[in-house]
Every structure is written in structure tokens, then in C-alpha cells.
């Protein structure tokens, strides 16, 4: 599989599979006759969403407003069955000034080092990009609650809190 373009996608969302603390994050994208599901690290999800919001705040104006995003929000679960096409290792975010669109590029490897790297390229309108970012941040935040002392994730059994000198907090 080389790079597959979704221009424009009919759906592009972030979701998870598994219980908090053991979740696998996915970006699912589809267009008329094709779809892709790529696994991605939580860190990449939150960083990508933050950068999308930064870009939209700088260049997109009212087209990327919260109200515009709410009109196109997709809160449905991931489509099943989920079959991972590849694991994301390289993420690129671009702004296409001619089309006023956000372009997400997700690759299995670095395309600068491997010209045949598996990847997907997704064009999103400003309102769809804002909706994607909002959902991505909400999905990432829906995991384990943070410890009120150290901020680390709390497991149902508690955790060894570094701020409590190693005592188990519940």
C-alpha cells in the first residue's frame, strides 16, 4: 500500500478500543469505496489535535468556529470490524492555502527515508478539522482519571504516587 488520499473523506474520527489504561487509539477514515483504520499513540492524538486547533485559530477564521464544528460533529462509535492497516509512526499536518483545508498525513514510516512508506493523506475542511480535533481531545481525556497529587493516571487498584514517597494512593 502506498499513500492513499481521502479527498474529501465522508468520515474521519479518532476512537479507542479497550478499557482505560489498555486502550488502543485509532484514526478511522472513509470515502465512497475505501476506508482505513490506523492505530496511533495517545500522545500523537493529543498533539495533533492541539496543533490542528492552533492552525485553525491562526488561519481559518469563522469557518473553523466551535459553532461550525458542532454542525458536523461525529460522535458515533468507530465502525466495526476494526482492522488495523498500519501503526502510525510519522504524523504531518499541513495547511492548504489554495483550498483552505487542513491536510493530515499519517505514515507507517518516515516518507523522507522510505519513498514507499504506507500512509494516508486526509483533506479536511476547517469545520471538519475542528470537529476532528474536539473529538480527539475528548477521546484522549476519557481514559483513567488523574491522581490529584501527582497528575499521573490512576488505575482502579490505585498507583504508587511519587509525591507520596511511594505510598499507594487510591
What residue ranges do the domains of the chain occupy? 3-145
Q: Does domain 3-145 match CATH 3.30.2450?
A: yes
What's the grid cell of residue 130?
Answer: 475542528
Residue 157 has pLDDT above 80, yes or no: no
User: Residue 170 has what pLDDT?
Assistant: 55
Beta strand 90-96 with 86-87: parallel, antiparallel or unpaired?
Answer: unpaired
Q: How far apart are CA 29 and CA 145, in angstroms?
A: 28
**106-126: pLDDT as tens digits:** 999 988 888 888 999 999 999
User: Residue 115 has what pLDDT?
Assistant: 82
Q: How far apart are CA 41 and CA 2, in angstroms?
A: 21
Amino acid at each position: 500500500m502506498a499513500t492513499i488520499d481521502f479527498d474529501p473523506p465522508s468520515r474521519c474520527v479518532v476512537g479507542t478500543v479497550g478499557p482505560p489504561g489498555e486502550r488502543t487509539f485509532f484514526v478511522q477514515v472513509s470515502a465512497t469505496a475505501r476506508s482505513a483504520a490506523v492505530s496511533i499513540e495517545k500522545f500523537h492524538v493529543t498533539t495533533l489535535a492541539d496543533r490542528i486547533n492552533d492552525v485553525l485559530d491562526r488561519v481559518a477564521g469563522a469557518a473553523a468556529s466551535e459553532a461550525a464544528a458542532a454542525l458536523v460533529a461525529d460522535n458515533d462509535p468507530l465502525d466495526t470490524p476494526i482492522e488495523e492497516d498500519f501503526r502510525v509512526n510519522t504524523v504531518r499536518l499541513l495547511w492548504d492555502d489554495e483550498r483552505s483545508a487542513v491536510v493530515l498525513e499519517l505514515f507507517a514510516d518516515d516518507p523522507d527515508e522510505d519513498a514507499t512508506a504506507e500512509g494516508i493523506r486526509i483533506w479536511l475542511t476547517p469545520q471538519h478539522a475542528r470537529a476532528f480535533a474536539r473529538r480527539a481531545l475528548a477521546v484522549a481525556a476519557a481514559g483513567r482519571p488523574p491522581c490529584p497529587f501527582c497528575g499521573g493516571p490512576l488505575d482502579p487498584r490505585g498507583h504508587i504516587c511519587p509525591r507520596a514517597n511511594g505510598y499507594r494512593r487510591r
